[in-house]
């Protein structure tokens, strides 16, 4: 017999409660997977230079399209075009992060978890 245990006494394990918690965690994981798939399928575009450059990213944070107006293609000012592309790409990524974080926060808001924990 283990130390501190008396004959005929059973240790409480809380098995039913533990099983319920595991089921809730599994349901949460499935919901998170669904939301992540939804986010991955989303696309977000941002522009710079008054719309001269447009960059589109998906929820996986991959650039899926770049559109450049011919007027901003100047062989003597490549740096400006690079800056426009970088600005549009960074803004599209920032917007996608904001959308993604918002969707995850919406999903977890009823759980009492601090923001950003997932």
More confident residue, 64 or 29: 64
Contacts of 75 (CB under 8 A, 6+ apart): none
pLDDT, residue 88, reads: 97
Task: Report domain extents, the chain.
Answer: 43-100
Q: Is the dihedral of CA 91, 93, 97, 100 positive or negative?
A: positive
- Average of per-residue pLDDT across 29-33: 89
pLDDT classification of 5: cutoffs 50, 70, 90: low
Backbone angles phi, psi at 55, to 5 degrees: -125, 135
According to CATH, the superfamily of the domain at 43-100 is Nucleoid-associated protein YbaB-like domain (3.30.1310.10)
């Amino acid at each position: 017999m283990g130390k501190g245990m008396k004959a005929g006494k059973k240790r409480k394990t809380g098995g039913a409660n533990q099983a319920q918690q595991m089921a809730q965690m599994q349901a949460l994981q499935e919901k998170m997977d669904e939301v992540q798939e939804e986010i991955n399928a989303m696309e977000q575009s941002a522009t710079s230079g008054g719309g001269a450059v447009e960059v589109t990213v998906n929820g996986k944070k991959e650039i899926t399209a770049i559109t450049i107006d011919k007027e901003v293609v100047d062989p003597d000012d490549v740096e400006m075009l690079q800056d426009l592309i970088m600005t549009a790409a960074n803004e599209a990524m920032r917007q996608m992060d904001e959308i993604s974080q918002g969707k995850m926060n919406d999903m977890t808001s009823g759980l009492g978890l601090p923001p950003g924990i997932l």
